[in-house]
């Protein structure tokens, strides 16, 4: 399988200063790929322990990327890692961190109220020309934008985990996203070496509208006792050619994130069977078993 990593890309973007809000699984990856592409990044999280963890994992992951790009030149590999790391600053105050941003990418918890609170405050302090984007997996871009004035400068930039490896970026045009903003988002995605597709503001855009019901069905199959977890994952890898099985993938994405997505869609579309709550998923989340990030989900991790 072809893996593609960019150090600097042929596609130029006018965006040079990026603020990424949320330093978890996704935010750390987004910060990494922007820094790799030569942009200045401020990575923000309310939790400074998370920022320390993010810096460590970015360092490790840059090392993996550098080994591939600079196979035969270890000194250049080391320089690549150091230079990229130096482009990433961290902060706990989203408002001051957004004052020099050309683009703010939000990757905080999948909750519309929390996202609203953040964007409402940012809208008041960020420069007028700053573009805002959300990495939401499942919420409506128009609904998130409803609380801000710069609706023309808002859109969705939906990355995939692990961000440095997955080559796709879904660029979501909201009802009021301007042509200029849309073009800037596409150019920025390309400058990171991603392949960009255009999506409408529909639930789950393209990938998650197909992927989340599939994962939910796998959890239900396991919950009914129809097959062992390991066998469900083996089945989809060896029988359908997937890189990773659905329960492993759920653990990788985060069971809390899967639950946030399903709950949100269930509330909006109560008749849709595919979005119905799953008692086993709710139980694991309530026990703090959120998958790889907490050391246990459907599987245990060291």
The site for ligand CAA (CB under 6 A) is made up of: 3, 61, 64-65, 68, 137, 160-162, 164-166, 207-208, 211, 243-244, 249, 253, 257
Please give the Cα distance from 254 to 51 (Å, whole number).
18
For residue 108, the partner it binds in ligand NAD, ligand CAA, none, with Cβ less than 5 to 8 A by kind, is: ligand NAD
Nearer to ligand CAA, 197 or 207 (CB): 207
**40-to-17, 75, 87, 148, 155 alpha-carbon distances in Å:** 5, 23, 5, 25, 21
Q: What does the block give as tokens for 8?
A: 């600097």
Residue in 13, 135, 140, 170 annotated catalytic: 170
Task: Name 154's bridge partners.
Answer: 132
Residue in 158, 184, 191, 248 annotated catalytic: 158
Please give the Cα distance from 11 to 223 (Å, whole number).
47
Burial class (CB in 10 A: 0-12, 13-18, 19+), 105: buried
For residue 211, the partner it binds in ligand CAA, ligand NAD, none, with Cβ less than 5 to 8 A by kind, is: ligand CAA
Residue 170 annotated as catalytic: yes
Candidates 5, 7, 17, 46: give the one binding ligand NAD (CB under 6 A): 46
23 binds ligand NAD (CB under 6 A): yes
Which of these segments, 140-148, 155-163, 166-174, 183-191, binds ligand NAD (CB under 6 A)?
A: 155-163
Per-position x/- string for 224-263, each x denoting binding to ligand NAD as judged by CB under 6 A, each - no binding:
-----------------------------xx--x------
Closest separation between CB of residue 120 and ligand NAD, Å? 11
Q: What does the block give as tokens for 162?
A: 């692990």
For residue 24, the partner it binds in ligand NAD, ligand CAA, none, with Cβ less than 5 to 8 A by kind, is: ligand NAD
Q: Which of 194, 174, 43 is nearest to 104 (CA)?
A: 43
Nearer to ligand NAD, 80 or 256 (CB): 256
Residue 279 neighbours by CB distance under 10 Å: 10
CA dihedral over 269, 270, 271, 272, signed as positive or negative: positive
Residue 208 annotated as catalytic: yes
User: Which residues sit at the interface with ligand NAD, rule CB under 6 A?
Assistant: 21-27, 44-47, 50, 94, 107-110, 114, 118, 135-137, 159-161, 253-254, 257
* Residue numbers annotated as active site: 137, 158, 170, 208
């Amino acid at each position: 399988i072809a893996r593609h990593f960019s150090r600097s890309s042929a596609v130029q973007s006018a965006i040079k200063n990026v603020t990424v809000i949320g330093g978890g699984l996704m935010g750390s990856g987004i910060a990494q790929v922007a820094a790799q592409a030569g942009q200045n990044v401020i990575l923000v999280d309310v939790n400074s322990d998370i920022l320390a963890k993010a810096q460590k994992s970015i360092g490790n992951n840059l090392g993996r990327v550098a080994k591939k790009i600079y196979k035969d030149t270890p000194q250049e590999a080391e320089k690549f890692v150091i230079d990229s790391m130096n482009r990433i600053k961290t902060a706990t105050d989203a408002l001051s961190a957004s004052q020099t941003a050309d683009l703010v990418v939000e990757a905080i918890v999948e909750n519309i109220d929390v996202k609203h609170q953040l964007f409402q405050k940012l809208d008041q302090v960020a420069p007028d020309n700053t573009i805002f984007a959300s990495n939401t997996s499942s919420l409506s871009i128009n609904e998130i934008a409803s609380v801000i004035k710069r609706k023309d400068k808002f859109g969705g930039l939906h990355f995939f985990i692990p961000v440095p490896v997955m080559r796709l970026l879904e660029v979501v045009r909201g009802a009021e996203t301007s042509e200029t903003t849309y073009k800037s988002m596409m150019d920025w995605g390309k400058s990171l070496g991603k392949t960009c597709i255009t999506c409408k503001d529909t639930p789950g855009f393209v990938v998650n509208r197909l992927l989340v019901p599939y994962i939910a069905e796998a959890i239900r199959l396991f919950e009914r006792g129809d097959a062992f977890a390991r066998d469900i994952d083996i089945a989809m890898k060896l029988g359908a050619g997937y890189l990773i099985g659905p329960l492993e993938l759920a653990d990788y994405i985060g069971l809390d994130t899967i639950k946030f997505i399903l709950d949100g869609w269930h509330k909006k579309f109560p008749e849709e069977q595919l979005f119905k709550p799953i008692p086993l998923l709710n139980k694991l989340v309530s026990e703090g078993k959120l998958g790889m990030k907490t050391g246990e989900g459907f599987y245990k991790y060291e």
